[in-house]
């Protein structure tokens, strides 16, 4: 038992590595578990215009810091401006600068955002500032509104709702406050007086094919350990579409020094993109996010098929050790299965059987010629090529273009298969040839069905941890000393 | 539905499966280095002769393609002979010639072959057609065994042989293999030969199977199989047991034949003996293997003590 401990430890380590790598790829990189998943990507374009006054100009645009969204890529377009994008703990902004600016100017910022995979929890509110003392009569109006709301409510949540409904009503005191402040500002003042954490934010309604949009003022209230968003402006929000919080904890959106008449407009468009591609796009930008997607397409495609072989190997191990299927050649079925992927199953089965059958007939003649083994197999290789040419030309003349894929079969493997089958025939009889031939084809078909499955292909290529798990499984099966399924029938009289 | 045995019942009866044989016995007790001792029959024969173990007489070997014609110098003038590959397995590539007359060489089946057929067979052997890995091989010519007439009527055409499993030098299980018409004169059970399980202590038949099914009589000759009893069984046990020292392999299959004049001869040794012997004996082999594995001895038993131990424990 002692000697099993390192082995079990190895298995445990492999399983842990495999599972955690799959977890990481899915949860952190965002590779979806099923193929063909698509995600929404929002492209937001900020269009800044101002008039230069002939002095040096500096334009700072604060960028969104919304934890619900993840930035994928961003561009700026600005002729002859120096551009600097800063992202740190406090700031994320883009700053354009130019020595001498004259006349109307236009600057562009374009960013692609997707919904964040694992939104970070928002920070709890910092120390609230003392509520500002308002000039009379606004101070008493605010107190009256608040008192009324408190009298009608039981807890903080209902208090917030009461304040909102009061602001929306035609209460005299509210009207007094609204004459001086905006609706959102009024709400914030009232909340501050009620000692409820609150902040004013500005958000962008994301909707496809929208131009000339502006930020919408909104308020966030800290209720029950989370920030809740409320809309007090008269703009109606579309609940179907998400909201990108652009400004939060930042004093301004746009700061133009050395220009006048500045304005900013947003244009939004949506496109759907492959979730795998976007996930790997983001992963590749991280320094250690190396992966198969960083390779050129040709190498990627090569690995796509190479990474299917472990799946086939697992099928062979499973069917031979646990089930006890007999086949000719250890991994010949896997190679046949890879050929099936090119040829499609039915064509492949038919073509393979035809070539092997024809090969066996010719091989039986070769065995009369009394040849040395190496020349005999070489002769079989040439015969196989001949058979394949003959079948292909014949099929083409007959108009059966499906049969042309027969060329995908590996010639050397076919020749060896024919050679083995033929020796088997001479030594053990046709029955054994049939058993092993059918066994090989059975394993090949099972392996093909798995290797051709789009989910399996997706996992094999995108989650390399799967192969570590397969490794662990194969090692485990390698120490299996129990009965094979077919032995249960073989030994049926012994139970 | 599929007529399957329950794994639990098989385990209770100590039936060994292929995976367990490979992992717990062949891989554990048979050192890879020693495989050539049994895979090359010329070498097996040399080792056996050093230990004074009786084997069929070797008339000579042919090693090179250009020497193929020299095979006729090695053949006996009138007696029968047998040409086999040194590294063949499972009885592959064995040509048995009973006698020579004006029609040519007479095979065991009664048909005739000519000199050129013999030459072709020898070059096939040299080219590795029958060897385990397809490697170049050596052809051995052995004198024919005069079969003990006690098996007359029990075997169709082919060679009746006795297979013993010897574990760490202790004979564990035995069976008699009889060729049938279905097996084409070969003694391989999976090709349809009859396997007669023999009591390891007495050499008396316990049960007989063909194609995995219990039978009472030989399917071709109709002779009763249950009455078979091998004479002088202890000599066979001793012979098989000594093959442990010859080969050095812990888990070993020993194939014996009974010669009319010389008694039991070692035909070949096998490093990966099959599991069919359990079916022929209608019992699992594991309890006995485990009993031997559990033996704690200050000094290993010698051959006679091992045979005594087996008879003492399992009769």
How many other CB atoms are there within 10 angstroms of residue A450's CB atom?
Answer: 18
Same domain, B31 and B76: no
In a domain, A346, yes or no: yes
E strands, A248-321, in order: 254-257, 259-274
- The total domain count for chain B is 2
Whether B51 maps to a domain, the answer reads no
CB atoms within 10 A of CB A301: 12
Find the largest Cα–Cα distance for chain B.
63
| A472 is a domain residue | yes
How far is Cα A301 from Cα A295, in angstroms, rounded to an integer?
10
DSSP-derived secondary structure letter, B189: G
Is the whole model's pTM more than 0.80, yes or no? Answer: no
**Residue B161 placed within a domain:** yes
Measured distance CA(A149)–CA(A445) in Å, rounded: 73
- If you average pLDDT over residues B46-52, what whole number do you get? 90
In a domain, A474, yes or no: yes
The verdict on B280 and B254 lying in the same domain is: yes
* B153 interfacial to chain A (CB closer than 8 Å): no
User: Phi and psi dihedrals of A230, rounded to 5?
Assistant: -125, 145
Query: CB A382: neighbour CB atoms within 10 A?
Result: 11
Residues B268, B244 share a domain: yes
The answer to whether residue A203 is domain-embedded is no
Query: For position A287, what pLDDT does the model report?
Result: 47
Residue A187 in contact with residue A219, Cβ under 8 Å? yes
Q: Is residue A276 part of a domain?
A: no
- The SS3 of residue A8 is helix
N- to C-terminal Cα separation, chain B: 38
User: Which of B5, B127, B283 lies nearest to residue A372, judging by beta carbons?
Assistant: B127
Which structural domain range is residue A332 located in?
Answer: 301-494
Question: Residue A449, Cα to own-chain centre: how many angstroms?
Answer: 25
The percent of residues above 70 in pLDDT, for chain B, comes to: 96
- Of the residues B143, B168, B183, which one is the last residue of a structural domain? B143
* CB distance B119 to B71 below 8 Å: yes
Q: Are residues B266 and B284 in the same domain?
A: yes
Q: What's the complex ipTM?
A: 0.79
Domain that holds residue B126: 57-143
Does a structural domain hold residue A181? Answer: no
Binding-face residues of B in 168-197 toward A, CB within 8 A:
184, 191
Residues 410-429 of chain A with CB under 8 A from chain B are 423, 427-429
Largest CA distance in chain A: 118
For A432, name the nearest residue in chain B, comparing CA atoms only: B191
* Inside any domain, residue A357: yes
Question: Is A348 part of a structural domain of the chain?
Answer: yes
Same-domain status, B155 and B138? no
N-terminal to C-terminal alpha carbon distance within chain A = 29
Q: B223 lies in a domain?
A: yes
Cβ atoms of A381 and A411 closer than 8 Å: yes
Measured between beta carbons, the chain A residues lying within 8 angstroms of B289 are: none
* SS3 state at A71: strand
**For residue B211, what pLDDT is reported?**
86
| Exposed e or buried b per residue across A400-417, where buried means at least 16 C-beta atoms within 10 angstroms of its C-beta | eeebbbbbbbeeebbbbb
Among B276, B278, B178, smallest CA distance to B218 is for: B178
Residue of A459, A493, A474, A416 lying closest to A15 (CA atoms): A474
Residue A297: CB atoms within 10 Å: 8
Task: Decide: B131 and B87 in contact? Cβ < 8 Å.
Answer: yes
Res. B165 pLDDT band, cuts 50 70 90: very high
Give, for all 495 residues of chain A, the pLDDT tens digit: 457 889 999 999 999 999 999 998 888 777 888 887 788 888 888 888 888 888 888 888 888 877 788 887 888 888 788 888 888 777 788 888 888 888 888 888 888 888 877 677 666 776 666 777 777 777 778 788 888 888 888 787 788 888 888 777 777 777 777 777 777 777 877 888 778 888 888 888 888 888 888 888 888 888 777 788 887 777 777 777 788 888 877 777 888 888 888 888 888 888 887 777 777 776 666 645 556 777 777 888 888 888 999 999 999 999 999 998 988 777 888 888 988 888 888 888 888 888 888 888 888 888 777 676 778 888 888 988 888 888 888 888 887 776 677 777 778 778 888 888 887 787 677 888 888 889 999 999 999 999 999 899 989 988 889 999 999 999 999 989 889 998 888 888 887
Instruction: Indicate whether B102 belongs to any domain.
Output: yes
* Residue where a domain terminates, one of B106, B125, B143: B143
Nearest CA in chain B to A373: B127
- Shared domain for B108 and B139, answered yes or no, is yes
Task: Locate B269 and state its tokens.
Answer: 């040794």
- Distances in Å between the Cα of A407 and the Cα atoms of A198, A332, A392 are 71, 17, 8
Residues of B in contact with A490 (CB under 8 A): 212, 279
Q: Are residues B61 and B196 in the same domain?
A: no
CB contact under 8 A, B92 and A488: no
Domain count, chain A: 1
Tokens of A174: 């509210």
B179 and B287 share one domain: yes
Q: For residues B10-15, give the mean pLDDT.
A: 90
- State the smallest CA–CA distance between residue B123 and chain A in angstroms: 8
Does residue B127 fall inside a structural domain?
yes
Residues B162 and B305 in one domain: yes
Are B95 and B201 found together in one domain?
Answer: no
Q: Is B4 on the interface with A (CB under 8 A)?
A: yes
B101 with B173, same domain?
A: no
CATH classification of the domain holding B115: 3.30.1490
A92-98 vs A210-213, strand pairing mode = unpaired
In a domain, B47, yes or no: no
Q: Which two tokens stand for residue A469?
A: 């798990």
Question: Which of B1, B17, B90, B132 is most worth mutating to test chain A (most A CB atoms within 10 A of its CB)?
Answer: B17
pLDDT at A55: 85
CB contact under 8 A, A370 and B124: yes
Which residue of A325, A363, A375, A487 is the best one to mutate when testing the B interface, meaning the one whose CB has the most B CBs within 10 A?
Answer: A487
Q: Which of B143, B166, B193 delimits the end of a domain?
A: B143
Residue B52 lies in a domain: no
| Cβ contacts of B284 on chain A, cutoff 8 Å | 494
User: Helices H, strands E: what count in chain A?
Assistant: 16, 13
> Is B17 in contact with A427 (Cβ distance < 8 A)?
no
Examine the domain organization and report whether B303 and B196 are in the same domain. Answer: yes
The enclosing domain of B13 has a CATH number of: 3.30.470.20
Helix (H, G, I), strand (E, B) or coil at B77: coil
């Amino acid at each position: 038992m002692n000697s099993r401990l390192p082995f079990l430890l190895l298995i445990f380590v492999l399983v842990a590595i495999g599972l955690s790598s799959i977890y990481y790829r899915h949860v952190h990189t965002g590779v979806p578990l099923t193929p063909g998943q698509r995600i929404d990507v929002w492209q937001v374009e900020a269009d800044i215009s101002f008039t230069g006054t002939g002095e040096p100009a500096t334009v700072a645009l604060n960028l969104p810091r919304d934890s619900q969204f993840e930035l994928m890529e961003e561009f700026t377009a600005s002729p002859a401006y120096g551009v600097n994008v800063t992202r740190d703990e406090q700031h994320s902004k883009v700053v354009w600068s130019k020595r001498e600016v004259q006349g109307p100017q236009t600057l562009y910022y374009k960013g692609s955002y997707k919904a964040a995979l694992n939104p970070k929890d928002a920070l709890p509110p910092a120390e609230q500032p003392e509520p500002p003392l308002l000039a009379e009569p606004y101070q008493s109006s605010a107190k009256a509104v608040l008192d009324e709301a408190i009298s009608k409510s039981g807890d903080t949540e209902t208090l917030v709702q009461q304040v909102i409904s009061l602001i929306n009503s035609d209460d005299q005191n509210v009207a007094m406050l609204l004459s001086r402040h905006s609706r959102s500002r009024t709400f914030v003042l009232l909340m501050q007086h009620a000692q409820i954490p609150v902040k004013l934010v500005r958000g962008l309604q994301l909707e496809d094919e929208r131009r000339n949009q502006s930020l919408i003022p909104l308020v966030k209230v800290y209720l029950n350990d989370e920030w809740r968003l409320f809309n007090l402006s008269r703009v109606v929000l579309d609940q179907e579409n998400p909201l990108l919080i652009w400004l939060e904890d930042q004093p301004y959106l746009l700061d133009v020094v050395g220009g006048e008449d500045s304005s900013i407009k947003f244009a939004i468009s949506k496109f759907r993109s492959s979730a795998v591609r976007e996930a790997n796009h983001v992963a590749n930008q991280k320094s250690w996010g190396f992966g198969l997607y960083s390779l050129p397409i040709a190498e990627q495609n090569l690995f796509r098929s190479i990474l299917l072989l472990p799946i086939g190997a697992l099928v062979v191990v499973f069917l031979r050790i646990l089930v006890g299927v007999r086949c000719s050649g250890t991994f010949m079925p896997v190679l046949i299965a890879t050929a099936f992927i090119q040829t499609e199953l039915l064509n492949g089965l038919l073509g393979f059987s035809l070539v092997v059958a024809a090969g066996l007939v010719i091989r039986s003649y070769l065995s009369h010629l009394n040849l040395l083994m190496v020349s005999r197999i070489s002769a079989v290789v040439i015969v196989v090529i001949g058979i394949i040419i003959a079948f292909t030309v014949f099929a083409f003349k007959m108009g059966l273009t499906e049969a042309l894929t027969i060329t995908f079969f590996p010639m050397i493997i076919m020749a060896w298969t024919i050679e083995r089958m033929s020796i088997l025939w001479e030594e053990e009889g046709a029955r054994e040839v049939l058993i092993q031939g059918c066994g090989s084809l059975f394993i090949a078909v099972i392996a093909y069905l798995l290797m051709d499955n789009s989910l399996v292909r997706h996992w094999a290529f995108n989650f390399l941890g799967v192969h570590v798990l397969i490794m662990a499984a194969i090692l485990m099966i390698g120490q299996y000393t129990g009965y094979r399924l077919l032995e249960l029938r073989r030994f049926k009289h012994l139970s | 539905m599929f007529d399957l045995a329950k794994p639990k019942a098989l385990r209770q009866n100590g039936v060994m499966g292929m995976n367990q044989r490979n992992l717990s016995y062949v891989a554990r007790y048979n050192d890879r280095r020693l495989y050539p001792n049994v895979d090359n029959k010329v070498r097996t024969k040399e080792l056996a002769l050093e230990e004074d173990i009786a084997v069929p007489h070797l008339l000579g070997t042919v090693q090179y393609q250009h020497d193929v014609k020299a095979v006729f110098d090695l053949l006996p003038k009138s007696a029968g002979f047998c040409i086999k590959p040194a590294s063949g397995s499972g009885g592959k590539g064995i040509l048995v010639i009973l006698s020579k007359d004006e029609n040519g060489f007479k095979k065991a089946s009664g048909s005739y072959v000519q000199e050129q057929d013999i030459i072709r067979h020898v070059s096939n052997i040299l080219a590795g057609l029958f060897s385990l890995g397809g490697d170049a091989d050596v052809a051995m010519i052995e004198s024919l065994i005069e079969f003990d007439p006690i098996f007359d009527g029990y075997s169709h055409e082919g060679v009746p042989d006795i297979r013993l499993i010897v574990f760490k030098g202790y004979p564990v299980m035995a069976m008699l293999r009889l060729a049938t018409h279905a097996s084409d004169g070969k003694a391989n059970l999976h090709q349809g030969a009859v396997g007669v399980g023999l009591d390891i202590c007495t050499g008396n038949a316990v049960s007989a199977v063909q194609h995995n099914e219990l039978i009472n009589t030989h399917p071709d000759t109709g002779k009763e199989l249950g009455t078979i009893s091998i004479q002088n069984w202890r000599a066979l046990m001793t012979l098989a047991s000594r093959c442990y020292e010859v080969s050095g392999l812990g888990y070993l299959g020993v194939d014996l034949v009974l010669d009319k004049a010389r008694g039991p001869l070692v035909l070949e040794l096998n490093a990966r003996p099959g599991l069919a012997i359990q079916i022929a004996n209608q019992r699992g082999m594991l309890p006995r293997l485990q009993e031997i594995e559990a033996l704690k001895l200050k000094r290993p038993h010698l051959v006679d003590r091992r045979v005594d131990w087996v008879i003492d424990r399992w009769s």
